[in-house]
Structure 1
Amino acid sequence: MLRWVALVLLLMLIGLQLELWSNHGGMSEVANLRAAVKKQQDENDKLTQRNQALAADVSDLKHGEQAVEARARGELGLIKPGETFYQVVPKPAASTAAPAAAATTGAN
C-alpha cells in the first residue's frame, strides 16, 4: 500500500513539474513577462523624464519673459525694434570651384 501512495505522489510531482516548466503559465512565460515589464518600465522612465523637461519648459514660458523672448528669436526669427538683422550665408566651396576650374582649362 505504501508503494502505491509513493508512486502516485511521484507521478503527481512529475506532472506538476511538467506543467510548471512547459505549459501555458509556466516558467518560460514568466521570464517573457518579466522582460516585457522591464522594457515597459524603461520606456516609462524615459517618458517621465521627458514630461519633467516639458513641464519645466512650460513653467519657464509661463513665468519668465526671457524664455518667451529666446523662443521667439530662435524659432520665429523675431527681432526687437531698433535692432539690425544680419544673416550669414556660407559660401559653397566645392560646387563653385569646379566650374570655374573647368572654364579656365577649356579656354587654354
Structure 2
Amino acid sequence: MRLLNASLLAILLILQYPLWFAEGSWRTVLTLRKELTLQQAENHRLEDRNKRLLAEVQDLRAGTAAVEERARMELGMVREGEVFVQYVK
C-alpha cells in the first residue's frame, strides 16, 4: 500500500512540475500579463501623442494662424509695428 501511495504521489508531482516551473507555467503567464499591461499603457500613451501630432499637422496645413503662432512662440518673431516685451523671472 505504501508503494502505491508513493507511486501516486510521484506521478502527481511529475504532472504538477510543468504547471508550476516549466515554460508556459503560471509564473510565465503572470509575467506576460504584467508585460502586456505595461505595453498596452505605452501604446495608449503613444496613440494619444500621435493624435496630438496629427491635429497639429492638420492645423499647420489648414491655415497661417498655426504657422504664425509657432513662429511667435519658438522663433520670437513679431509683426511689423509690434513691440516685443519679455519678462525674465
The TM-score, its normalising length taken from structure 2, stands at 0.79
Q: State the partner residue of 1:41.
A: 40
Deviations 1:30-82 (A, max 9, x none): 11011111111111110110111111111111112111111110110101112
Aligned to 1:53: 52
Instruction: Describe how 1:1-108 pairs up with structure 2 within 5 A.
Output: 11-89=10-88
- CA distance in 1 between partners of 2:87 and 2:42 (Å): 41
Q: Give the fraction of aligned pairs with identical amino acids, expressed as a percent.
A: 45
Structure 2: distance between partners of 1:30 and 1:89 = 55
Normalising to structure 1: TM-score of the pair? Answer: 0.67
Unaligned runs of 5+ in 1: 91-108
User: Secondary structure of the residue that 1:79 maps to in structure 2?
Assistant: coil
Larger Rg: 1
Instruction: Give, in whole Å, the separation in 1 of the partners of 2:82 and 2:24.
Output: 70
Over 3 Å counting, the alpha-carbon distance change for 1:88 and 1:42 in structure 2 is closer
Q: Which has the higher contact order (CA 8 A, sep 6+)?
A: 2
Residues 39/89 of structure 1: CA separation in 2 closer, same or farther (3 Å cut): closer
Deviation at 1:11, TM superposition (A): 4.8
Shift of 1:17: 1.4
